[in-house]
Amino acid sequence: MNSKRVPLAGDVSNSSAQALSELAAHTTELLESNSLDARFARKLLKQLAREAEAAGIDILEDATLGTSLKRLKKSVNATQAGELVAAAAELRTESGSTENEKPAGKKKQRNK
């Protein structure tokens, strides 16, 4: 199944830049208060950008919307990075290794 959305002829949105900006800001607030999953927030971010494009809004020209989307993206990235660090730390503790230990790898063989 192809997950790419194919735009239809006359695919136009009535969304305003102000509404999209407020939705992005509210999504950021929910994400930062741990009320919203970061993966879902990333999907909303992509949809907000598509909606702005369909409404004919240039994100680079609309400072408020651009700032709101950038803040949401930064928050999503920070949240997902924190989740990744926490998962890596949990894996280290489960495997019994410490932060100072180097991961086990192949030892170089010397030719004699």
Average pLDDT, the chain: 84
Under a CB-based contact definition with an 8 Å cutoff, are residues 21 and 66 in contact? no
What is the Cα–Cα distance from 21 to 107, expressed in whole angstroms? 54
> Could you tell me the pTM of the whole model?
0.71
- Residue 31 has a CB neighbour count (10 Å cut-off) of 22
- Model confidence at 4: pLDDT above 50: yes
- The domain limits of the chain are 17-94
DSSP per residue, 80-97: HHHHHHHHHHHHHHHHT-
- Which pLDDT belongs to residue 46? 96
Q: How confident is the model at residue 9 (pLDDT cuts 50, 70, 90)?
A: very low
The H or E element that residue 52 is part of is: helix 38-54
Look at residues 62, 55, 59, 56 and name the one whose alpha carbon lies nearest to residue 14: 55
Mean per-residue pLDDT for 30-34? 95
Q: How confident is the model at residue 34 (pLDDT cuts 50, 70, 90)?
A: very high
